[in-house]
Structure 1
Amino acid sequence: MDLKELTTFQTILQEGNFSKAAAKLNYAQSTITNQVQRLEKELGIKLFKRGWDSELTAAGRIFAGEIDKLIQHWNHVAEQAKALQKEEIGTLSIGGLESLSEQVLPNSLRRFREYKPNVSCHFVIGNTVTLSRALLQNQLDFAICGEPSDPSSFRFEALYNERISFIAVNNHPLVGRTEIPFEELLGYPIIAGGTTCLYYSRLSKQFSRYTETPFLYTVSQISAIAGFVQQIPSIGAVLDSTPLPPNVVRIDIELKDSTIPVGLLQSRNDEYISSSKKLLMQYVQEELELNQSRN
């Protein structure tokens, strides 16, 4: 069964007989007859009664009632296939850190939609561990995050540096001082991101250099840490990009190796980059550059 056979059957119905359908389609009448015969053979039913007039059989009437839908569906599928070949439809799945969800990713999507309005985008916000795991499981096309602890399965292109910073309420004893030695933090409860957060290993390494162990609370969502700091006399460990409420400020703590590279993470096995994926990656990188220049 092909579209020509379906169109021929539809035209016979519209014109009333074989000869008029042949004239409209610019076919010989024998061609019309052959196409109807092939269609009947493929369907395993007779569409017209004997004599090859235009009187439909009972089965033919049922098929005739669906012919318009069949042709519309056929054309829709063909158009979708052509669009997919041109990469004008489809879905992209993008992973990003929480700090990118306010401006960078929304702005990238806004620009992307202007050129690829029929490509759907699915954004997953998470930390480096969860996003890199999703990449390995082929659940993401790419991610903007830190470099995984085991980078062997990935391609990582650093785009900017995040920095670890510390926060407290504005009446905390450490606020207003400069170049505070790191060990002074150890006398206060510290609220930090969970073990899978971008900077946790850096902090753990720093803590290991001292005999005194801080009392540590963990919060999986870094942006929520400031809220805890507001209610609990403590020090919060966040990133420079973390927005703060009015009564919470950053404090000047001496911390070696406080920078964390963030960049474009892709699976090493992903060799094909579609034009849609390439365009969205370009916009994300450009928005990151704009965001860094504003900060």
Structure 2
Amino acid sequence: MDLKTLKTFQAIVRNGSFNRAAQELNYAQSTVTMQIQKLESELGVTLLERGKELTLTEAGRLFYEQSLSIVQRMEQLQNHLHDLKEGVAGHVRIGATEPTASFRLPGILKAFMAEYPNIRISIEIANTPVLTERMLAGEIDFSLTTTPDRGANLYFEPLFQEEFVAFMPEQHPLAQQQTVAPEDLQGYRVLITSAICPYRKKLEMVLRDKGNVTLDTMEVGSMTALKSYVESGLGIALIPRIMAGSSLNGMKAREVSGDLIHMTSGLACRESSYPLQLASRKLYQYIKQQLSEESYLLT
């Protein structure tokens, strides 16, 4: 018993005739007759009473009623499998670091989901080390992160440079400078992210290169929270330019000199998963295209 046979049986009932069912399905009448004979043999019951008029037996009525929902579900399953194969349906699990997760992805994902409503998306927001572990464990399909550590068995494609600025109240002494160097931060409280944050590691490395410059620091676990803590007068911070915004409301954003200006971000996934397939590939390509249109991509 297969889907074609069920559809043939329903066409016979609908048309009240083997001949008209064959015409509707574009089959030879002998094919229709053979399908129903085989179906009745498999089921061990007579479904149709042949005579002047074609009528359903009691078993035929039961089978017809049950077969309607079976065919509907089978057709839905076929459509879903086709959509999955074409990459227009499925479930994509992605990860993202800040500020991309809060400042870039929402608009991109809204437009993507409007175009592909049958693709479900789950997002995990975390730092690069955490997302690396989740990808290697197969719990995330791909992530938008900073450059992962070497030897992590990940494929990484750089996409854009995250530009950082020094963010501070407009009355702060460093606000009078047009550019802030890493060593200028000494003597002021600097709000920093957690010890495993890649940008904090980069800051510490640069300060060591400058002669072990020491800082008065306060650790804030969230990159996106840094701006609010600076606005509350708790210190100054190096934040992504995209977070500073255009309306500063009594705050100043100053250029940062040297190697602290940029952090590379891009797509990361398991080496064994690249190139991505199905819906994951479609979402990645869409994100890359949207970032390109916003002039974020590396050239």
TM-score of the superposed pair, with normalisation by structure 2 = 0.77
Aligned to 2:176: 176
Q: Bigger CA drift: 250-259 or 90-99?
A: 250-259
Aligned to 1:227: 228
- SS for the counterpart of 1:149 is coil
Aligned to 2:240: 239
Aligned to 1:46: 45
Alignment of 1:125-274 (within 5 A): 125-180=125-180, 182-208=182-208, 213-244=214-245, 245-251=248-254, 256-274=259-277
Residue 236 of structure 2 aligns to which amino acid in structure 1?
A: I
Q: Distance in 2 between matches of 1:62 and 1:16?
A: 17
Give the superposition deviation at 1:125: 3.4
Q: Distance in 2 between matches of 1:276 and 1:263?
A: 19
Q: Distance in 2 between matches of 1:51 and 1:264?
A: 65
Aligned to 2:66: 66
Give the superposition deviation at 1:170: 1.5
Q: Distance in 1 between matches of 2:9 and 2:109?
A: 45
Q: Do 1:156 and 1:266's aligned partners in 2 also have CA atoms closer than 8 Å? A: yes
Q: Distance in 1 between matches of 2:185 and 2:27?
A: 88
- SS for the counterpart of 1:249 is strand
Q: Distance in 2 between matches of 1:291 and 1:236?
A: 26
Name stretches of at least 5 consecutive residues in structure 1 with no aligned partner.
none
Cα 1:26/1:151, change in 2 over 3 Å:
closer
Q: Distance in 2 between matches of 1:283 and 1:124?
A: 19
Give the superposition deviation at 1:148: 0.9
Q: Distance in 2 between matches of 1:250 and 1:4?
A: 68
Q: Distance in 2 between matches of 1:101 and 1:282?
A: 17
Cα 1:229/1:71, change in 2 over 3 Å:
same
Cα 1:95/1:46, change in 2 over 3 Å:
same
Q: Bigger CA drift: 12-21 or 65-74?
A: 12-21
- SS for the counterpart of 1:138 is coil
- Is residue 56 of structure 1 aligned with residue 32 of structure 2? no
- Is residue 5 of structure 1 aligned with residue 8 of structure 2? no
Q: Distance in 1 between matches of 2:26 and 2:178?
A: 89
Cα 1:77/1:290, change in 2 over 3 Å:
closer
Cα 1:273/1:31, change in 2 over 3 Å:
same
Q: Bigger CA drift: 188-197 or 24-33?
A: 24-33
- SS for the counterpart of 2:273 is coil
Give the superposition deviation at 1:191: 1.2
Q: Distance in 2 between matches of 1:19 and 1:182?
A: 87
Give the superposition deviation at 1:177: 2.8
Deviation string, structure 1 residues 229-274 (Cα, Å, up to 9, x no partner) = 1223312232233225422222455554543222222321114433
Q: Distance in 2 between matches of 1:186 and 1:223?
A: 23
Give the superposition deviation at 1:194: 1.9
Give the superposition deviation at 1:176: 0.9
- SS for the counterpart of 1:217 is strand
- The alignment of Structure 1 onto Structure 2 pairs a total of residues equal to 292
Q: Bigger CA drift: 83-92 or 13-22?
A: 13-22
Name stretches of at least 5 consecutive residues in structure 2 with no aligned partner.
none
RMSD: 3.6
Alignment of 1:77-92 (within 5 A): 77-92=77-92
Cα 1:151/1:160, change in 2 over 3 Å:
farther
Residue 6 of structure 1 aligns to which amino acid in structure 2?
A: L
Residue 217 of structure 2 aligns to which amino acid in structure 1?
A: L
Give the superposition deviation at 1:117: 5.0
- Is residue 285 of structure 1 aligned with residue 284 of structure 2? no
Deviation string, structure 1 residues 52-85 (Cα, Å, up to 9, x no partner) = 873423x443322222222222222223333333
